[in-house]
């Protein structure tokens, strides 16, 4: 994981929190090949060293667009092989994001279309500007979502609603996203990142091993029958019992002070 990127801006605005900004505002933060490579490196780096941060907030540069999806100008004229090679980079980045053990909050500051919508759906939850709009427009281009859109949207909004969105390619508002379970919170346009960072601050103040185990338990449990998921949860729980953080949490409670979690 690099400290600086050309298409991403990385900041640490508060303790244990990484703010990642998709930084191509001149083209609506559209994903070109370089952004795909850099996102893959970012998520792979966090996966390899999850102690680097305790929460990630992902947003887009500017006030109008979170991410417009794939850079169609770059894709214009690509051969089939070139298109698929580029998309493989995007696929690997999405898999790395989904595998990220650290909680990731999408702070959707504006339009999240196509791949931009898919990236937000791959995050753990979404805070959206009241003016944000979402769409999966791939069907209007002769393709289909290939970064989890046909899987994550039905899990959030239900199959029937998701099929209507996917098959029409029509956008929906942040308010509709909230009503359908896609968005967790609506924020005034100038406050979406600040509110996401405040929630990140709360998460980062909790025991990092606990937050990772909770995320893993929820993600894997959703794909299991209830009995198997309960067993998975207990295995995750038992991994926390012998940790220093568990002992620190109980001690801090009894001493009436804020715990100092170390991730051990």
Find the catalytic residue in 38, 138, 179, 233: 138
Q: Which residues pair with 10 in a beta bridge?
A: 20
pLDDT at 79 over 90: yes
Instruction: Please tell me the predicted confidence (pLDDT) of residue 63.
Output: 86
pLDDT at 217 over 80: yes
Which tokens is 85 given? 């090679």
Instruction: Please tell me the predicted confidence (pLDDT) of residue 2.
Output: 73
Instruction: Please tell me the predicted confidence (pLDDT) of residue 3.
Output: 79
Q: 135 Cβ partners below 8 Å, 6+ apart?
A: 111, 112, 113, 114, 117, 165, 169, 170, 171, 172
Find the catalytic residue in 26, 38, 63, 118: 118
Q: Which of 16, 26, 17 is nearest to 7 (CA)?
A: 26
The CATH topology of domain 8-204 is 2-enoyl-CoA Hydratase; Chain A, domain 1 (3.90.226)
Mean pLDDT of the chain: 95
pLDDT at 24 over 90: yes
SS3 call for 56: strand
Give the CB-side neighbour count of residue 143, counting CA atoms within 13 A: 16
Query: Is 118 a known active-site residue?
Result: yes
pLDDT, tens digit, 9 for 90 and up, residues 86-144: 999 999 999 999 999 999 999 999 999 999 999 999 999 999 999 999 999 999 999 99
Query: Is 130 a known active-site residue?
Result: no
CATH class, 207-254 region: mainly alpha
Question: Where are the domains positioned within the chain?
Answer: 8-204, 207-254
pLDDT at 31 over 90: yes
């Amino acid at each position: 994981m690099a400290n600086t990127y050309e298409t991403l801006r990385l900041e640490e605005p508060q303790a244990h929190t990484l703010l990642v900004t998709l930084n191509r505002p001149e083209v609506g933060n559209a994903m070109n090949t370089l952004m795909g490579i850099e996102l893959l490196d970012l998520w792979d780096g966090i996966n390899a060293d999850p102690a680097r941060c305790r929460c990630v907030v992902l947003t887009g540069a500017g006030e109008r667009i979170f991410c417009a999806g794939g850079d169609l100008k770059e894709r214009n004229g690509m051969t089939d092989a070139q298109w698929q090679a580029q998309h493989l980079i995007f696929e690997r980045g999405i898999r790395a994001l989904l595998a990220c053990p650290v909680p990731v909050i999408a702070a959707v500051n504006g339009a999240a279309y196509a791949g931009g919508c898919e990236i937000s759906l791959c995050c753990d939850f979404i805070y959206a500007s009241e003016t944000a709009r979402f769409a999966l427009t791939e069907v209007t281009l002769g393709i289909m979502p290939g970064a989890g859109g046909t899987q994550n949207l039905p899990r959030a909004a239900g199959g029937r609603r998701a099929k209507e969105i996917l098959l029409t390619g029509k956008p929906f508002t942040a308010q509709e996203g909230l009503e359908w379970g896609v968005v967790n919170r609506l924020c005034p346009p100038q406050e979406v990142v600040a509110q996401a960072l405040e929630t990140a601050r709360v998460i980062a103040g909790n025991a990092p091993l606990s937050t990772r185990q909770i995320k893993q338990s929820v993600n894997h449990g959703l794909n299991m029958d209830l009995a198997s998921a309960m067993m998975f949860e207990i295995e995750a729980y038992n991994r926390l019992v012998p940790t220093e953080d568990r002992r620190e949490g109980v001690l801090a409670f009894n001493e009436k002070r804020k715990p100092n979690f170390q991730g051990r």
